[in-house]
Amino acid sequence: MAHLALEKFLKAKVCQETRDLAPRLHNLVQLAALAKLDPTQEQQDTLADMNQFNLQGRYPEEMASPPTAEKSRAFMARTKEAIEWLTQQS
């Protein structure tokens, strides 16, 4: 669900930037580029890393093996930081 949250934030930014509907794509890095955002390398890495959860968030039965609790907490912390950054973008 973290991927979906980031995707929705980014699609809102795309709509804001383009004054049009966001395209039907789920790649967070591409969406950030379409929104004309300028993420740091760390933020870019977070978006790229979160892309692996695109299908898994929509179709849990496709999940190979869930991340460990420790990795899950790390992904959630990185997602929180990314959402905080996105909310600060105008």
With bands split at pLDDT 50, 70 and 90, how would you rate the model's confidence at 79?
A: very high
pLDDT in tens, 12-71: 999 999 999 999 999 999 999 999 999 999 999 999 999 988 865 566 666 667 789 999
Can you list the pairs that 54-61 forms with residues at least 24 positions away whose Cβ atoms lie under 8 Å?
54/3, 54/7, 54/26, 54/27, 56/3, 57/1, 57/2, 57/3, 57/4, 58/4
Q: What is the pLDDT of residue 64?
A: 67
pLDDT average, residue stretch 65-89: 92
Total domains, the chain: 1
- For 6, the domain range is 2-88
Q: What is the pTM of this model?
A: 0.85
